[in-house]
Amino acid sequence: EPEVTQTPSHQVTQMGQEVILRCVPISNHLYFYWYRQILGQKVEFLVSFYNNEISEKSEIFDDQFSVERPDGSNFTLKIRSTKLEDSAMYFCASTLSIYEQYFGPGTRLTVT
């Protein structure tokens, strides 16, 4: 069964460094999303992406964040200058039907 994959599974970075989190959505899906979950807290929406542009973004998704679909398969989330509070699990999701979203296993980002 097709699934969303994410790499790396765990990323450790120093405060102020740039990180890129990578996702490979399900191949025929058209809508892509990033969410994050700080340890012990709720899953929070960051951004949605459709037709090569951002559809919607939350207040969390400020100028430090960007998304890109550099080719036909990858979907990336870049954090330009990481802060301690960016430490979280980051989940990528994709969908074809705009009803159910299929989530990846997540990347644990630790900022030290």
Partner 1 sequence: DAKTTQPPSMDCAEGRAANLPCNHSTISGNEYVYWYRQIHSQGPQYIIHGLKNNETNEMASLIITEDRKSSTLILPHATLRDTAVYYCIVRVTPYAGNMLTFGGGTRLMVKP
Pairing between β-strand 5-7 and β-strand 19-24 as defined by DSSP bridges: antiparallel
Q: Is 66 in the site for partner 1 (CB under 8 A)?
A: no
Longest dimension (CA), the chain: 39
**75 binding partner 1? (CB under 8 A):** no
Using the minimum distance from each CB to partner 1, give the nearer residue, 15 or 54: 54
Q: Is 103 exposed, middle or buried (0-12, 13-18, 19+ CB in 10 A)?
A: middle
Tell which one of 2, 10, 18, 56 touches partner 1 (CB under 8 A).
56
| Residue ranges in 29-48 that form contacts with partner 1 under rule CB under 8 A | 31, 33, 35, 37, 42-45, 48
44 alpha-carbon distance from chain centroid: 11
**Three-class DSSP category at 68:** strand
- Could you tell me the smallest distance in angstroms from the CB atom of residue 41 to partner 1? 9
- Binding residues for partner 1, rule: CB under 8 A, are 4, 31, 33, 35, 37, 42-45, 48, 50-51, 54-56, 58, 89, 91, 93, 98-106
